[in-house]
Structures are given as C-alpha cells and as structure tokens.
Amino acid sequence: MISRQTIDAVFDAARVEEVIGDFVQLKKSGSNFKGLSPFTDERTPSFMVSPVKQIWKDFSSGKGGNVVSFVMEHEHFSYPEAIRYLARKYGIEIEETQQTDEQKEEASEKESLYLISEFARDYFHRVLLEEEEGKAIGGTYFKERGFTADTIEKFALGYSPQQWDAFTLAAKEKGYQIDLLEKTGLTIVREDKQFDRFKGRVMFPIRSMSGRVLGFGGRILSSEKKAAKYLNSPESPIYQKSKVLYGIYQAKQAIAKQDNCYLVEGYTDVIQMNQRGLEHVVASSGTALTVEQIRLVRRLTNNITLLFDGDAAGIRASLRGVDLILEQGMNVRICTFPEGEDPDSFARNNTLDQLQDYLSANTQDFIRFKTSLLLQDSGNDPHKRGQTIRDIVQSISKVPDAIQREVYIQECARLMDISEEVLFNSLAQQLEKSRRDAKKDRSRQEVTQPMEVIADRTPVTAKVDGLFELERKLIELLLLYGHKQEEFEDLVLESDAEGEISFRPDIVEAKVYEKIYLDLQEDEIEFTNLGFRKLYSHIIDSLNQDQEIQTEVFVSRLPQELAILASDLLMEEEKHKLHAWQRKEIFVRDKDHQIGQVVSETILNLRRHLVSLKIDELSTEIKESDDENQKQSNMQDIIDYIMLKKVLSEKLNRVV
C-alpha cells in the first residue's frame, strides 16, 4: 500500500495544468485554462482546468476531478497506478506501508523484473535498428510485412541475435542477476549453461495497460522444423498471459473514444490494422479468450467486435469466447474476412476506407452470426437442428439483461422459424439450471471460505430531482463560500390571536457554513443523497477546524469518489466563462455580492420542498387508513402544512 506521505507529496508536487498539458492543448482563459475535450470529438472547447483550485471539468462528457482522477480517466489507470505515474513524473520516491518483509521483498523483486524487461525491450530494439544482423534479418522481415519506421518505433519491435547467449551476456554486464533473468523467462538456465530463450527471433514486447513491459512474443525466421513458429514468455510474477492483451497500451485511448474494441488473434494483425489507421485493436496473443482479458476491455468500452479469418474450424473453436463476453454484460459483434485473408493481409492490401467499409458491411450481431454458422453444420437433420437451437439459447442465457435476452429470443425465433414460446420455455429451463448451479457453487464456497465483510458501495443517486438539486446547491455554496461572513435575514415563526402564522424577519450576521449547519440542525434535515451526506460531513469538519477550505488540500484528502464530486461542483461556477458572454455584451451577474440572499433562498426552497413531500405523505396515509380519528388528525396537519407552505412561497415571491 502506498503511504499517505507519498500521496500527499504527489498532490503537493503535481500541477493539474502541467499534467493535463501533456495530453491536451490548453489555452489561457482568465485565471483558468481551456481546451478541446480529450474524451469526446468536439470543435468548441468545453474542457476547463483551474490552476487555483487544482481541478478540471469536461463539460461535454460530464467528467471532472483532480490531477489523479484525470490520469485515471485518460490513461485508464487504477488509483495506485495513477499515483505511481505522477510520482515518477515528479521524481518522488514511493513509500510503502503495512508491508511485511516478505511483501517488501516481493515488491522489490517485481520492480527488478520490470526493469529487466524494459532493458530487454531497449536491447532488442537497438539490435534491430543498429546491428547488421538485426537490420539484415529482422529489418527485412518487418519490411516485407510492410511495417513503417514509425510503426516499428511505436510498438518497440526488435530482434534477438542468433548467438546463444547474446542477450544474457549483455544483461549480466549491466549488473542484472541471473536468477532474475531466469524468472523473466528471457534466459534459460541449465546446470552447465545459460542461453537466450528467444535467440534468432523478431521480438514483440507485450505491455500492460499502463505501458510497463510484462513479457515478449518472438517469431522465428529460420526454417527449423522443431522450433515453434511463435514463442511467448513463460508465466512470471509480472506476466500472466490470461490477464494480458497485446496492443492494449497503444489502443486504450482509441477504444475509449470509439467506444468499441476490435479483437484479433495475432501480433501482426494488431500492428497492421493500427498502421492502416484503426487503432482500437488488441489481440489475445494465441490464447483462448479469458474473463480477465474481457474485463480489461470492459474498463474502456462495453462493445467488442471479434475479427476472424475465413478458417471455419478456427471460428467454431473461438465461439466459446462469445459466451464469456456475454456473461460480462458486454455487446459482441463478429466479422469474418474472405477465405484466405486475415486482418493482417486484408489491412495491408486495402486502404483505410476500404477496410472500414468492409467492416461496416460485414459485421453481424452475434445471434445472426452464430445462427447462420451452426445452421450450416446442422443442414436438414432435425436432431442437429434442435441441438443448434439449444446451443443458441444457452448463449442467450448468458446475457445478464432480461430485456436484451428477450430481444435475442425474438430474433432467434425469426431466424430459426420457431415459436417464441418454445424458445422462452427453453430459456427459462436454462436460467433455472444456471441458478441451481450457482447456488451449489455458493454453498461450496460458504463451507470452505470465511465470512467476508463487504464495503458499502451504495451508488450516489438522486432519489428526487428537486431535492437532489437543492442539496447539490447547498454543498456547492459550502464549498465555494462556506468561510464567508454574510448578513442573513433569519425568519422567526409567529402566530397571531386568530392562529394565523407568519415569519418575522430578523437580520443576523454569521458565516455561511454556520447558517446552513444551524438551519439544517434546527429543522432536523439530513441529506438524502449519500454522496452529498458524506461530503457535507467532510466540509463541516474542515471548516470547523480550519475556518476556510483550501480547495487543493481539501480535495486531495477526500476519498476518490468524493474528490470527483467536489471537483464537479467547484468547476460548475466556471461553466459560463467558456462562452465568453462579455464579448457578446451579455454580463453574467457576480454571485459574490448576493451570497446571503442565495443561501437564504436555497434553505427556504429546501424547507418548502420538504413541506410538499410531507403533504404528499399525509395525503397517502389518509387514502390508505381506515381510522377516522387518524384521518381527521392527518387532515388538520395537512391544513397546517399548506399554510406554512403558503408563507414560505410568499417569502420566495411565488404564487401558490
């Protein structure tokens, strides 16, 4: 675990405008910067960065937050990965806490393996570009493939010399230990010798989503029959092939932007399509598709398109992956290339427009594709046809969404010329079987595993729109003006001899946060939105201790989901600056001069809204109750609340 001191040091050193400036072209706009959104295609800038508050907001996509949340969103990093990225950028040493000696040793070993892998990447790349053997053999192969110098650089392609131990000797000369070289799989150690695993092969570095080198794929260029054509690094502490997708580092931004991921089989398929202009392509690198790989894509998009060559046997073997994708709640489409073509050759022999047109015209929904493929096998055999239908229904049962399942059943019924009722019955049986199997699995796990405490992950949602907006406004006022001393017109509730109620104005002076806190306490009002409730508690605690919120420090110390929420509220004030209203002779009123009025009106509106909800609640009780005395009591309460609402509305200059 990264220590709090390291996280604080990262937030102290990292400047949001500097970090975002590495990815987005920013222009000065008053005290802020603005630019085009990196998350959507737009022509008018809607992306804003505040150096003063150290936060950002993308008004086109709705995303926002602090410097860490930007790196997480843009680079698709986890929180620890983002902290490590920023620590490296600003030269901050990362401290780990709550680690045993064994954990520290393991972390140190992993870092050493990463360093060796990165050294190997640079070594193989240099051999390819600078040494005669590399240029003559590796360079010729890549040239025949049609790879440009830019593509070779982008994917850091390389070449491992024919000499048995060329890389191992080079690594040992740099001081890398032989036991660690063996753990990466780059060096094979026998009792009497040490030699390179990838000798005489062109090299494809395999990188994580954050860009670290995990392992390698190597293709042999000689005609040696006993040697495997492609060879991958063995499993190691940093490389588990079932959790890695080749090309994910180069493709991640394009996948998120296109909201789709093309999944192919091999390294050269990825590289060739990327070079042609389709950058949102990854490969499973010769392994059967796994749940971990699918979830890696799901961090970027819910849409996967599988690209197959014309080999029917290979397609059928890959259909298991379709069910896995469906189980993850993702949308899957499939496209096959003409016989004799694969993504590599088709991209090499066609222009970008031709490639895109072909994919657009030939990509099918999985249900259509699987139906047509299996029907070819079953022909007119009734037994095989029945098995085909059961196979398709089984795939549909993997879809978590009930509405989507129904749509697929209707489509299957139409394509297979069978009644929907039969398919729905079959689906119900399949779902029931899945539930029984899942129940058995849970029972086994409960017997073998201790009880686990699950963290509260209640989503931040608005129960009622009006209430949500009023609560949001109060939090915004606390964040922006909580420390300010203002005059407020307090309202004292009075009633005359006839029982008529009214409010007597009473001018008081207080800090904004004191006014809001005391009024909410007096009325026993609690925020209904979980996110606002948590943020409110942090704000009041901070203001009670420090009397003023220092935005940069306050946001950096919040949990990540609250930091994003706070940043979103803080940047909302900057929205009108994007439109340059003053140049159009439209002058936006400065809220700073009317804070007291805005706070008072917001609290009055909240009270009025809650009174309305109470009236609705009592009205419902009257309808559902059989107790006449209770009905009379509720009716009198409603009359009192309506009078209170009328007074509040008059105070707000509203007509009821």
Q: Which residue has the higher pLDDT, 135 or 502?
A: 135
Q: Which of 364, 302, 311, 373 is nearest to 337 (CA)?
A: 311
Q: What is the pLDDT of residues 452-494, one digit of tens each?
A: 444 444 444 444 468 888 888 888 888 888 888 888 876 666 6
Sole residue written with tokens 């640079």: 122
Rounded CA separation 577/455 (Å):
40
The secondary structure of 500-564, three-state, reads CEEEEEEEEEEEHHHHHHHHHHHCCCCCCCHHHHHHHHHHHHHHHHHCCCCHHHHHHCCCHHHHH
Rounded CA separation 249/237 (Å):
19
pLDDT at position 345, please? 93
Q: What is the pLDDT of residues 413-439, one digit of tens each?
A: 888 888 888 888 888 888 888 788 777
pLDDT at position 178, please? 94
Contact 365, 399 (CB under 8 A): no
DSSP 259-306: T-EEEESSHHHHHHHHHHT---EEE-TTSPP-HHHHHHHHTT-SEEEE
Q: What is the dihedral of CA 640, 645, 646, 652, to 10 degrees?
A: 160
CB atoms within 10 A of CB 571: 21
Rounded CA separation 348/4 (Å):
51
Sorted by sequence, the CB contacts under 8 Å of residue 572 that are 6+ apart come out as 57, 476
Q: What is the pLDDT of residues 255-285, one digit of tens each?
A: 888 889 999 989 999 999 999 999 999 998 7
CA 509 to chain centre: 46
Q: Is the pLDDT of residue 218 over 90?
A: yes
Q: Is the pLDDT of residue 559 over 60?
A: yes
Contact 106, 28 (CB under 8 A): no
CATH topology of domain 248-443: Dna Topoisomerase Vi A Subunit; Chain: A, domain 2 (3.40.1360)
CATH of domain 4-89: 3.90.580.10
Q: Is the pLDDT of residue 286 over 70?
A: no
Confidence of residue 509 (pLDDT cuts 50, 70, 90): confident
Q: Which residue has the higher pLDDT, 629 or 335?
A: 335
**Percentage of the chain lying above the pLDDT 70 cut:** 85
Rounded CA separation 258/303 (Å):
10
Q: Is the pLDDT of residue 528 over 50?
A: yes
Average pLDDT over residues 15-32: 87
Q: Which of 406, 365, 413, 364 is nearest to 389 (CA)?
A: 413
Decide the pairing of beta strands 194-196 and 201-207: unpaired
Q: Is the pLDDT of residue 405 over 80?
A: yes
Q: Which of 110, 241, 240, 113 is nearest to 186 (CA)?
A: 113
CATH of domain 101-239: 3.90.980.10
623 token code pair: 């309808």
Contact 423, 430 (CB under 8 A): no
pLDDT at position 352, please? 95
Rounded CA separation 56/32 (Å):
10
**Percentage of the chain lying above the pLDDT 90 cut:** 27
Helix-strand-coil split of the chain, %, nearest 5? 55, 15, 30
Would you kindly state where each structural domain of the chain is located, as residue ranges? 4-89, 101-239, 248-443, 465-579+590-651
Q: Is the pLDDT of residue 152 over 80?
A: yes
Decide the pairing of beta strands 303-308 and 261-264: parallel
302 token code pair: 């819910």
Contact 261, 305 (CB under 8 A): yes
Q: What is the pLDDT of residues 180-202, one digit of tens each?
A: 999 999 999 998 889 999 999 99
Burial of 5 (0-12, 13-18, 19+ CB in 10 A): exposed
Number of H helices and E strands in the chain, helices first, is: 27, 18
Q: What is the pLDDT of residues 576-630, one digit of tens each?
A: 555 554 554 444 455 555 788 888 888 888 888 888 888 888 888 888 777 777 7
Which residues lie across from 2 on neighbouring strands? 96
Average pLDDT over residues 208-214: 86
Contact 245, 217 (CB under 8 A): no
Q: Is 34 helix (H, G, I), strand (E, B) or coil?
A: strand
Average pLDDT over residues 117-135: 96
Q: Is the pLDDT of residue 15 over 60?
A: yes
- Which element (helix H / strand E) includes 336? strand 331-336
Sole residue written with tokens 């060796």: 116
Q: What is the pLDDT of residues 30-39, one digit of tens each?
A: 878 988 888 8
Question: Structure pTM?
Answer: 0.66
Q: Is 99 helix (H, G, I), strand (E, B) or coil?
A: coil
What average pLDDT does the structure give for the chain? Answer: 83
Q: Which amino acid is at 493?
A: L
